[in-house]
Amino acid sequence: MNLDLIRQDFPPLRGSKPPIYFDTACQSRTFYARTETHYFDLPEDWVLMFDDDVLAITTLTNGNGAVIGPTLYDFMPKNYSPYYGIQLKYKGSQTVYWLPDSNGNTQKVISVAGKWGYVDRTAIDTGSLTVISNTRRACIDIVRMWYRGRTGDNQGGNAIVTAAGVVQTPAGAMPRSAWEAIKAYTGHAG
Protein backbone atom coordinates (compact mmCIF):
# COMPACT_ATOMS: atom_id res chain seq x y z
CA MET A 1 0.00 0.00 0.00
CA ASN A 2 1.22 3.48 -0.79
CA LEU A 3 0.52 5.18 2.54
CA ASP A 4 1.44 8.65 1.30
CA LEU A 5 -1.14 8.56 -1.51
CA ILE A 6 -3.83 7.23 0.81
CA ARG A 7 -3.08 9.88 3.43
CA GLN A 8 -3.11 12.56 0.72
CA ASP A 9 -6.62 11.48 -0.32
CA PHE A 10 -7.90 11.18 3.21
CA PRO A 11 -6.42 13.63 5.74
CA PRO A 12 -7.71 11.82 8.89
CA LEU A 13 -5.37 8.94 8.02
CA ARG A 14 -2.30 11.17 8.12
CA GLY A 15 -0.04 9.80 10.80
CA SER A 16 -1.84 6.46 11.21
CA LYS A 17 -2.11 3.20 9.33
CA PRO A 18 -4.76 2.69 6.65
CA PRO A 19 -7.12 -0.29 6.84
CA ILE A 20 -5.13 -3.35 5.83
CA TYR A 21 -8.26 -5.38 5.14
CA PHE A 22 -9.32 -2.91 2.44
CA ASP A 23 -6.71 -4.39 0.07
CA THR A 24 -7.52 -7.89 1.31
CA ALA A 25 -11.21 -7.42 0.54
CA CYS A 26 -10.24 -6.39 -2.98
CA GLN A 27 -7.87 -9.35 -3.43
CA SER A 28 -4.69 -7.28 -3.02
CA ARG A 29 -5.60 -4.72 -5.65
CA THR A 30 -3.85 -1.40 -5.34
CA PHE A 31 -5.88 1.71 -6.01
CA TYR A 32 -3.01 3.85 -7.23
CA ALA A 33 -0.53 3.57 -10.11
CA ARG A 34 2.97 2.21 -9.55
CA THR A 35 5.81 2.26 -12.10
CA GLU A 36 7.35 -1.21 -11.94
CA THR A 37 8.85 -4.02 -13.98
CA HIS A 38 7.44 -7.53 -13.49
CA TYR A 39 9.07 -10.72 -14.78
CA PHE A 40 7.19 -13.74 -16.11
CA ASP A 41 7.88 -17.29 -17.14
CA LEU A 42 7.70 -18.11 -20.83
CA PRO A 43 4.01 -18.69 -21.68
CA GLU A 44 3.02 -21.96 -23.35
CA ASP A 45 0.82 -20.20 -25.91
CA TRP A 46 0.25 -16.69 -27.33
CA VAL A 47 -1.18 -15.32 -24.05
CA LEU A 48 0.76 -13.79 -21.15
CA MET A 49 -1.33 -13.42 -18.00
CA PHE A 50 -0.22 -10.71 -15.56
CA ASP A 51 0.23 -11.13 -11.81
CA ASP A 52 -1.39 -7.75 -11.10
CA ASP A 53 -3.60 -5.14 -12.78
CA VAL A 54 -1.86 -3.15 -15.54
CA LEU A 55 -2.81 0.36 -16.63
CA ALA A 56 -0.16 0.80 -19.34
CA ILE A 57 2.91 -0.95 -20.72
CA THR A 58 5.98 1.13 -21.50
CA THR A 59 8.27 -1.77 -22.52
CA LEU A 60 7.55 -5.43 -23.20
CA THR A 61 10.77 -7.44 -23.56
CA ASN A 62 10.90 -10.99 -24.91
CA GLY A 63 13.16 -13.64 -23.37
CA ASN A 64 15.81 -13.09 -26.06
CA GLY A 65 16.05 -9.39 -25.10
CA ALA A 66 14.08 -8.09 -28.09
CA VAL A 67 11.49 -5.40 -27.37
CA ILE A 68 8.00 -6.30 -28.58
CA GLY A 69 6.21 -3.24 -29.95
CA PRO A 70 2.60 -2.41 -29.08
CA THR A 71 1.39 -3.18 -32.61
CA LEU A 72 2.35 -6.83 -32.07
CA TYR A 73 0.08 -7.57 -29.11
CA ASP A 74 -3.44 -6.89 -27.85
CA PHE A 75 -4.42 -6.12 -24.28
CA MET A 76 -6.88 -8.33 -22.45
CA PRO A 77 -9.51 -7.01 -22.19
CA LYS A 78 -9.07 -5.09 -25.40
CA ASN A 79 -11.15 -1.95 -24.80
CA TYR A 80 -10.66 -0.89 -21.19
CA SER A 81 -8.21 -1.03 -18.32
CA PRO A 82 -6.96 -2.33 -16.04
CA TYR A 83 -5.57 -5.13 -18.16
CA TYR A 84 -4.99 -8.66 -16.91
CA GLY A 85 -2.94 -9.99 -19.84
CA ILE A 86 -1.74 -9.61 -23.41
CA GLN A 87 -2.00 -11.80 -26.47
CA LEU A 88 0.57 -11.75 -29.24
CA LYS A 89 -0.90 -11.05 -32.69
CA TYR A 90 -0.43 -13.16 -35.76
CA LYS A 91 1.00 -10.72 -38.31
CA GLY A 92 2.38 -12.89 -41.12
CA SER A 93 6.11 -12.31 -41.52
CA GLN A 94 6.09 -9.89 -38.56
CA THR A 95 4.67 -12.47 -36.13
CA VAL A 96 6.50 -12.57 -32.81
CA TYR A 97 6.73 -15.67 -30.61
CA TRP A 98 7.64 -15.91 -26.95
CA LEU A 99 11.30 -16.95 -26.74
CA PRO A 100 13.61 -18.18 -23.95
CA ASP A 101 16.81 -16.32 -23.09
CA SER A 102 20.14 -17.09 -24.80
CA ASN A 103 20.84 -19.91 -22.30
CA GLY A 104 17.49 -21.59 -22.95
CA ASN A 105 16.01 -20.43 -19.63
CA THR A 106 12.25 -20.06 -19.57
CA GLN A 107 11.68 -18.78 -16.03
CA LYS A 108 11.28 -15.04 -15.41
CA VAL A 109 12.57 -14.16 -18.91
CA ILE A 110 9.67 -11.99 -20.13
CA SER A 111 9.72 -8.49 -18.62
CA VAL A 112 6.84 -6.04 -18.57
CA ALA A 113 7.64 -2.48 -17.54
CA GLY A 114 4.78 -0.09 -17.06
CA LYS A 115 2.12 1.41 -14.84
CA TRP A 116 0.67 -1.21 -12.49
CA GLY A 117 -2.45 -0.82 -10.37
CA TYR A 118 -6.21 -0.70 -10.65
CA VAL A 119 -6.54 3.05 -11.14
CA ASP A 120 -4.29 6.04 -11.69
CA ARG A 121 -5.36 8.54 -9.05
CA THR A 122 -4.28 11.41 -11.32
CA ALA A 123 -6.65 10.30 -14.11
CA ILE A 124 -9.63 12.48 -14.96
CA ASP A 125 -11.75 10.09 -17.04
CA THR A 126 -15.20 9.20 -15.68
CA GLY A 127 -14.36 5.56 -14.93
CA SER A 128 -11.26 6.44 -12.90
CA LEU A 129 -13.03 9.23 -11.04
CA THR A 130 -15.78 6.78 -10.05
CA VAL A 131 -13.24 4.31 -8.65
CA ILE A 132 -11.39 7.09 -6.82
CA SER A 133 -14.63 8.43 -5.34
CA ASN A 134 -15.83 4.97 -4.26
CA THR A 135 -12.53 3.97 -2.64
CA ARG A 136 -12.27 7.33 -0.88
CA ARG A 137 -15.84 6.94 0.41
CA ALA A 138 -15.08 3.42 1.65
CA CYS A 139 -12.01 4.69 3.55
CA ILE A 140 -14.09 7.43 5.16
CA ASP A 141 -16.75 4.89 6.19
CA ILE A 142 -14.12 2.58 7.67
CA VAL A 143 -12.50 5.38 9.68
CA ARG A 144 -15.92 6.55 10.79
CA MET A 145 -16.62 3.00 12.02
CA TRP A 146 -13.33 2.96 13.95
CA TYR A 147 -14.10 6.33 15.49
CA ARG A 148 -17.59 5.35 16.58
CA GLY A 149 -16.31 1.96 17.74
CA ARG A 150 -14.21 3.55 20.45
CA THR A 151 -17.42 4.12 22.42
CA GLY A 152 -18.87 0.68 21.66
CA ASP A 153 -21.07 1.82 18.77
CA ASN A 154 -20.96 -1.13 16.37
CA GLN A 155 -20.79 -0.15 12.69
CA GLY A 156 -19.23 -3.16 11.04
CA GLY A 157 -20.89 -6.44 11.84
CA ASN A 158 -22.70 -8.46 14.46
CA ALA A 159 -21.62 -7.20 17.84
CA ILE A 160 -21.04 -9.51 20.75
CA VAL A 161 -21.95 -8.39 24.26
CA THR A 162 -20.00 -10.23 26.95
CA ALA A 163 -21.46 -11.22 30.32
CA ALA A 164 -19.70 -8.17 31.77
CA GLY A 165 -21.56 -5.92 29.29
CA VAL A 166 -18.56 -5.20 27.05
CA VAL A 167 -19.51 -4.65 23.41
CA GLN A 168 -17.11 -6.33 20.99
CA THR A 169 -17.16 -5.68 17.26
CA PRO A 170 -15.69 -8.46 15.10
CA ALA A 171 -12.07 -7.75 14.15
CA GLY A 172 -11.69 -6.76 10.53
CA ALA A 173 -15.39 -6.11 10.08
CA MET A 174 -16.10 -3.66 7.32
CA PRO A 175 -19.13 -1.36 7.29
CA ARG A 176 -21.76 -2.43 4.77
CA SER A 177 -21.55 1.00 3.09
CA ALA A 178 -17.78 0.57 2.55
CA TRP A 179 -18.28 -2.94 1.16
CA GLU A 180 -21.00 -1.68 -1.21
CA ALA A 181 -18.61 1.01 -2.47
CA ILE A 182 -15.75 -1.38 -3.25
CA LYS A 183 -17.29 -4.81 -3.98
CA ALA A 184 -17.28 -4.12 -7.73
CA TYR A 185 -13.47 -4.07 -7.60
CA THR A 186 -12.94 -7.55 -6.16
CA GLY A 187 -12.12 -9.31 -9.44
CA HIS A 188 -8.78 -10.44 -10.86
CA ALA A 189 -5.59 -9.09 -9.37
CA GLY A 190 -2.48 -11.18 -9.29
In order along its 190 residues, the chain shows pLDDT tens digits of: 455 555 554 444 444 444 445 666 777 788 889 999 999 999 999 999 999 999 999 999 999 999 999 999 999 999 888 999 999 998 887 789 999 999 999 999 999 999 999 999 888 888 889 988 998 888 888 888 777 766 655 555 556 677 777 666 555 567 778 888 888 887 654 5
Taking the whole predicted model, whether its pTM rises above 0.85 is answered as no
Q: Which of 116, 141, 172 is the last residue of a domain?
A: 116
Is there a single domain that holds both residue 133 and residue 180? yes
The whole-number pLDDT of residue 75 equals 96
Residue 182 CA to residue 184 CA, distance in Å, equals 5
Q: Which of 61, 93, 116 is the last residue of a domain?
A: 116
The residues facing 47 across adjacent strands are 87
The whole-number pLDDT of residue 12 equals 46
Instruction: Tell me which residue range forms the domain holding 82.
Output: 34-116
Closest CA to 119 of 142, 135, 98: 135
How many distinct structural domains can be found in the chain? 2
Is there a single domain that holds both residue 181 and residue 134? yes
Is there a single domain that holds both residue 136 and residue 107? no
Where would I find the H helices in the chain?
A: 3-9, 20-25, 126-149, 176-182
Is there a single domain that holds both residue 18 and residue 56? no
The whole-number pLDDT of residue 187 equals 66
Residue 123 CA to residue 128 CA, distance in Å, equals 6
Q: Which of 76, 100, 116 is the last residue of a domain?
A: 116
Is there a single domain that holds both residue 109 and residue 40? yes
